[in-house]
Amino acid sequence: MSKDKQPFDEMFGTGDEPREPYKSYHKWFEGEQNARLRRKAEEAEQAFRRTGITFNVYGREEANERLIPFDIVPHVLSKREWQKLSEGIEQRVRALNAFLHDIYHRQEILKAGRIPAHMISNNEAYLPKMIGVEPPGSIYTHIVGTDIVRTGEDEFFVLEDNARTPSGVSYMLENRETMFEMFPELFIQNRVCPVSTYPKRLRRSLAACAPPACDGKPVIAVLTPGIHNSAYFEHAFLADEMGAELVEGHDLRVVNGRVAMRTTQGYTAVDVLYRRVDDAFLDPLNFNPDSMLGVPGILDVYRAGGITIANAPGTGISDDKAIYSYMPDIVEFYTGEKAKLPNVPTWRCSEPDSLAYVLDNLSELVVKEVHGSGGYGMLVGPAASRKEIADFRAKLKAKPDGYIAQPTLALSTVPIFTNKGLAPRHVDLRPFVLVSPNGIDITPGGLTRVALKKGSLVVNSSQGGGTKDTWVLES
């Protein structure tokens, strides 16, 4: 667990021989010429450019639109490893959905003293207007991205939960398609679980969550903030792949108690809205009155059972990193079982003793904003300068309840392809989960994010990270 521990390499373990999941790939790699692999890597980059797979970086003066680097060495998981992960993820997602239902209804977990009430009532992500609202099918978390890190052969941890508007699934799909085009022989030699059915499964899962007002085949639409959003490519991609309409707030209005979208034939009622707009901007009548991105009155239609919003408003509280620190209690409270996938140990800086420890050990810890995402607003102590640590110390003292801290884990590595051959880099994995009244569906694979800089622990694309294809072996 300490930063001095030699990282576990997922291809080679702690030795020079490839681990079982990688043996077939490694044998193939050893027989390839570096010149061909370099050429294929360049072809992959060109393919991503042609497809328009970019993301936007906010707050930069230079050109915003960037290509996410793609590495041609896959991240491989055995069937046994995947089973361990999927069982733990399913348990966690069930607990999260039960937790969200509870805090907006009976609040049994607060009455039992397992979570301090002020952690909920004072949380900016908690929406009092959702109290007593029953989402269609009692589903809050329709789409979840669970970030997993690894420190050893059988040591997996959940780094964070993403249940607000999780992104990245389009890159999972495009990574696989690109890899298949570049190296079709690998998929003949290796039995890799497919991921291409995700859009159909997403549509089926969303349709199963249709509201009481739905009459006939559910009409599904994807709500995007627009072309300037960092994940706009993904919004358009998923709408197209699902056969759903891509809409912006100005395309929707409330008509006869339903949310309807503008079409060439007039307005058509929408049954399920897969929204990629944050809660605050979803409804200017009920939340931020200045929002131009949402639909006036949509929350009232939702409360009356006229539309399903995925994910449900108010789910963002489960992404809160202070709430995350209570997840072992949350899992046990709602499932009666110990968590199958542990959390990373976490200090809540809102607690005086924890704050004192964190301030004394800043150079050894990772400190994150409670509501932060994308790798922004965090301190990686071992990699920080004295000035950065001093500046962060001041931030912590000024607003301790805005931060949590964690040990610097010796995250596992997976090799990337460089001009000099293979080189180890730190990775994490975001599997994608679909939840409906019909059950929980976890796509076998996910988005592997890789830190391209040697020694870096930050894998986010916004911070210079790249992505890989993720293989789950069928046998």
Domains and CATH numbers, the chain: 345-408 (3.30.1490.270)
The tally of CA atoms less than 13 A away on the side-chain side of residue 186 is: 27
Give residue 2's pLDDT.
Answer: 42
Q: Where are the alpha helices (DSSP H) in 20-150?
A: 23-30, 34-51, 79-103, 108-111, 117-121
d(CA 82, CA 78): 6
**Confidence class for position 458, pLDDT limits 50, 70, 90:** confident
**Confidence class for position 437, pLDDT limits 50, 70, 90:** very high
Give residue 373's pLDDT.
Answer: 61
Q: Name the token pair of 81.
A: 């490893």
**Confidence class for position 375, pLDDT limits 50, 70, 90:** low
Give residue 59's pLDDT.
Answer: 46
The tally of CA atoms less than 13 A away on the side-chain side of residue 231 is: 21
| Contact criterion met (CB below 8 Å) for 415 and 9 | yes
- What does the mean pLDDT of the chain come to? 92
Higher pLDDT, 83 or 382: 83
**Mean predicted confidence (pLDDT) in 193-220:** 97
Give the Å distances, CA to CA, from 451 to 52, 71, 144, 427. 22, 11, 23, 6
| Contact criterion met (CB below 8 Å) for 141 and 148 | no
**Confidence class for position 61, pLDDT limits 50, 70, 90:** very low
Reported as a single tens digit per residue, the pLDDT across 8-40 is: 999 999 888 999 999 999 999 999 999 999 999
The bridge status of strand 365-369 relative to strand 252-255 is unpaired
pLDDT at 240 over 90: yes
| Contact criterion met (CB below 8 Å) for 444 and 472 | yes
Percent pLDDT > 70 in the chain is 94
The tally of CA atoms less than 13 A away on the side-chain side of residue 29 is: 16
**Confidence class for position 462, pLDDT limits 50, 70, 90:** low
Report the predicted TM-score, pTM, of the whole model to 2 decimal places. Answer: 0.92
Give residue 274's pLDDT.
Answer: 98
Give residue 1's pLDDT.
Answer: 39
pLDDT at 416 over 90: yes
Give residue 448's pLDDT.
Answer: 96
Our CA dihedral for 180, 185, 190, 191, rounded to 10 degrees, sits at 60
Give residue 307's pLDDT.
Answer: 98
Q: Name the token pair of 58.
A: 């906010």
User: 208: which residues sit within 8 A by CB, 6+ positions away?
Assistant: 137, 436, 437, 438
Tell me the three state secondary structure of residue 22.
Answer: helix
d(CA 99, CA 314): 12
**Mean predicted confidence (pLDDT) in 411-427:** 93
Reported as a single tens digit per residue, the pLDDT across 62-105 is: 445 567 889 999 999 999 999 999 999 999 999 999 999 999 99
**Mean predicted confidence (pLDDT) in 392-401:** 93
Q: Name the token pair of 173.
A: 């799909």
| Contact criterion met (CB below 8 Å) for 274 and 220 | yes
28-37, 63-72, 109-118, 433-442: least confidently modelled range: 63-72
pLDDT at 277 over 60: yes
Q: What are phi and psi of 86, to 5 degrees?
A: -65, -35
